[in-house]
Amino acid sequence: MQSRWYRPKRGNDAFTDLLFNTLLGFAFMFVIAFMLIADTQSEGNIDHKAEFIITVSWPDHHPDDVDVLVEDPRGNVLWFDNRDTGVMHLDRDDRGRYQDQLEINGKLVSNPINQETVSLRSWVPGEYVVNVLHYKANFAEPLAVSVKLEKLNPEVTLLYYGVHELTRTGHEVTATRFTLDADGNTVATSALAKSLLTLVNKKAKAG
The pLDDT profile of the chain, 207 residues, written as one tens digit per residue, is 444 444 455 555 666 666 666 777 666 665 555 554 444 343 333 345 899 999 999 999 899 999 999 999 999 999 999 999 999 999 975 554 545 555 667 776 666 789 999 999 999 999 999 999 999 999 999 999 999 999 999 999 999 999 999 999 999 999 999 999 999 999 999 999 999 999 888 877 776
Q: Are 178 and 160 in contact (CB under 8 A)?
A: yes
| DSSP category for residue 99 | T
Q: Are residues 130 and 199 in the same domain?
A: yes
Q: Are residues 35 and 68 in the same domain?
A: no
Q: Are residues 41 and 128 in the same domain?
A: no
Q: Are residues 18 and 56 in the same domain?
A: no
Exposure of 34 in the CB half-sphere (CA atoms within 13 A):
6
Q: Are residues 20 and 69 in the same domain?
A: no
CA distance 41 to 38: 5
pLDDT at 47: 40
Q: Are 168 and 134 in contact (CB under 8 A)?
A: yes
The residues facing 90 across adjacent strands are 118
Please indicate, yes or no, if residue 122 is contained in any of the structural domains. yes
Helices first, then strands: H and E counts in the chain: 2, 12
Please indicate, yes or no, if residue 1 is contained in any of the structural domains. no
Q: Are residues 130 and 194 in the same domain?
A: yes
Q: How many domains does the chain have?
A: 2
Q: Are residues 114 and 186 in the same domain?
A: yes
Q: Are residues 109 and 26 in the same domain?
A: no
Please indicate, yes or no, if residue 2 is contained in any of the structural domains. no
The CATH number given to whatever domain includes residue 148 is 2.60.60
State pTM to two decimals: 0.71
Residue-range definition of the domain harbouring residue 29: 8-45
pLDDT at 45: 39
Q: Are residues 93 and 39 in the same domain?
A: no
Please indicate, yes or no, if residue 57 is contained in any of the structural domains. yes
Please indicate, yes or no, if residue 3 is contained in any of the structural domains. no
